Copies of this chain bind each other. A is one copy, B any other.
Amino acid sequence: MPTRVVDTSNSPYAKLRPVPVEEVELKDGFWAKRLNKLREATIPSQYELLENTGRIYNFRRAAGKEKGDFQGLVFNDSDVYKWVEAAGFLLASRFDEKLYSLVEKVVDDICAAQDEDGYLNTFFTFENKAKRWSNLARDHELYCAGHLIQAAIALRRAIGDQKLFNAAVCFANHILRVFGPDGKPGAPGHPEIEMAMVELYRETGDHRYLSMAKKFIDNRGRGIAGGDVNRIDHKPFKELDEIVGHAVRSLYLNCGATDLYMETGDKEVWSVLERLWNNMVKCKMYVTGGVGSRYDGEAFGFNYELPNAQAYAETCAAIASFMWNWRMFLASGDAKFVDVMELALYNGVLAGISLDGKEYFYVNPLADRGRHRRRKWFECACCPPNVARLVASLPGYFYSLSEEGIWVNMYDENTARLRFKDNIVRMVQKTNYPWDGRVEIALSLEHELDFSMYLRIPGWSGDTEASLNGLKISEEIKPGSYFKLSRSWNDGDRIELSFQMGVRKTSCNPLVYENLGRMALSRGPLVYCLESVDNTGFDVWDLLIPEDAVLQAEWAPNLLDGVMVIRGEGYVADSDWGQDSLYRALNPAKARKTGFLAIPYYAWANREPGPMSVWIRSTPRLDSPMQRQGDSSS
């Protein structure tokens, strides 16, 4: 039962199919550490929190096993489902009796809360039973149902679970009766059900679920889901021309629509998706891959509205972007989507969880004064279990398969056992990625085999070198593409890649006023930031770096669980502002030289609080000495 995250094995309009989670083992590398932390710290602590905040109790209460009031927010069931999904992926990677028992217990609690007619939502029981399906715009019933279905599919694929899966199918069938061909019109205020229904179709082959997903998408823009921009209900899906509204809702809807496209091949849907993607990536995405810049409505802003200190950039939105880009990639095989996935993963998503795996960001600013700190939990706790299920599923994204061969999407120390056309192809990736750009991929084959290897060349790697069995490949290797190596492969064949890991200075389109005259530092897939704890003696917000400054990367084994830092020299003009005025006469300052140290953005806010900044002021080379005399003005 292969645990594919999105199973496009039989999707007629998908270019690629994913490799099951259990076929790839991340070992001793960057993500292996994270997965261990997830298994040892995150998943157990989240379970405790789900219990302590009444989220699992709500199921027992609904089943009549406990007495009391419903606890928390109307969509709290979904947090439990996401945790189960995360646990499913972990069990797929490595079975673990203790975790399995815990999951079984939670599944029992969930299933006991289901009504005889299949309905399952712990808020809409007892006194609230009459309100079922009465307010699709706000009540998140279809959203929770979608997460139940996703969790059940993951668990079935991972460990052959049938209990939660049956519950999910029962609820899905209930939804078909309510909203299906003969049912009432439906569209959720918070999308999620769409991709779940398509996946359930993939899992069962039952076309009714696919039709249901299509109907939910087709029903948008008719006021059923609230009629407003924030619920992406202001227009029919096919008329969307700009990515707007609540970022997670918008992106989950796009996930569902991409899934629908892969099954139906509706070109109009694809062209909407491309339009929205271009708008997001060219006008509305942070350099960290974060999206949804606006606090109000947790929404996409106007084009080029990308404030730094006031960035919203919800962790779930970066996750949703990752999920959508994964689907866009499966549909097309275009490397540009994986570039965005990787950017979001290493920066916008990973910043959402602390190094110890127990604290979370909901909001991810790109500049801060030290007040924004990760928290153990939230009343609206969508982000923590969403990070958990994404990280748990990571082994499933490293490779994918097409008719022509094997695609290597991401790089990290791993071993894989892939099934390609009834053959077993074993891969061993040796690398210290993302700290080092060298990757060695060794193939083990039972017999010689013709196929192509598609190696992703990250968009940021300007000058990649590759060799095959020690011989340098002379063909042009284009950044932001898949480099195709077609041959008859033999056991022991060895590919070496070397991505350019120089420190990169990134500038921003000057239409983003906030970033004018600023640069961001990156290295490999990682975006860097300055944190005050590493930069004493000046305020990191004040630093000015000459555009042509020399920057050095340096391995710091004892810092932040081991990170590559960036060092350089800049200038600081000290200011003595307090909080007592907004404006004052400029006092031309003399800037002094200072060294600085930058750390990966994902690792910020894991030490003592203080100012942080991603976009650093920079200055071009001036073609004549600046005027130094303060001549009197008229």
* A interface with B by C-beta (< 8 Å): 281-283, 285, 287, 294-297, 301-302, 304-305, 307-310, 367, 369, 462, 502-514, 516-517, 519-520, 539, 541-542, 544, 546-554, 569, 571, 573, 575, 577, 579-593, 613, 617-624, 626-634
Q: Given A309-B304, A502-B633 in contact, is the A511-B623 Cβ separation under 8 Å?
A: no
A236 to chain B, nearest CB (A): 25
Q: Given A510-B541, A617-B516 in contact, is the A550-B633 Cβ separation under 8 Å?
A: yes
**Is the Cβ of A586 less than 8 Å from the Cβ of B505?**
yes
Q: List 22 A-B contacts (CB under 8 A).
A: A295-B296, A296-B297, A307-B310, A307-B513, A367-B513, A369-B511, A503-B633, A507-B586, A509-B581, A509-B582, A513-B541, A513-B613, A519-B586, A544-B620, A547-B588, A547-B589, A548-B627, A548-B630, A552-B634, A553-B634, A571-B623, A590-B621
In the complex, residue of chain B having the shortest beta-carbon distance to the beta carbon of A613: B513
**Is the Cβ of A282 less than 8 Å from the Cβ of B511?**
no
A609 to chain B, nearest CB (A): 15
In the complex, which of the residues B285, B513, B618, B629 contacts A548, with contact meaning CB atoms closer than 8 Å?
B629
Q: Given A285-B582, A503-B634, A581-B509 in contact, is the A620-B571 Cβ separation under 8 Å?
A: yes
Contacts of A509 in B (CB 8 A): 577, 579, 581-583
A371 to chain B, nearest CB (A): 11
**Count of this chain's copies in the oligomeric assembly:** 2
Alpha-carbon separation in the docked complex, A520 to B539 (Å): 22
Contacts of A294 in B (CB 8 A): 296
In the complex, residue of chain B having the shortest beta-carbon distance to the beta carbon of A303: B579
Contacts of A502 in B (CB 8 A): 632-634
Contacts of A587 in B (CB 8 A): 507
Alpha-carbon separation in the docked complex, A592 to B624 (Å): 8
A575 to chain B, nearest CB (A): 6
Alpha-carbon separation in the docked complex, A517 to B580 (Å): 19
Q: Given A310-B307, A519-B586, A577-B509 in contact, is the A549-B627 Cβ separation under 8 Å?
A: yes
**Is the Cβ of B511 less than 8 Å from the Cβ of A590?**
no
**Is the Cβ of B548 less than 8 Å from the Cβ of A283?**
no
**Is the Cβ of A579 less than 8 Å from the Cβ of B301?**
no
**Is the Cβ of A541 less than 8 Å from the Cβ of B554?**
no
Alpha-carbon separation in the docked complex, A352 to B403 (Å): 63
Q: Given A305-B310, A516-B541, A575-B510 in contact, is the A553-B619 Cβ separation under 8 Å?
A: no
Alpha-carbon separation in the docked complex, A607 to B594 (Å): 45
Contacts of A553 in B (CB 8 A): 633-634
In the complex, residue of chain B having the shortest beta-carbon distance to the beta carbon of A580: B282
In the complex, residue of chain B having the shortest beta-carbon distance to the beta carbon of A575: B510
A579 to chain B, nearest CB (A): 7
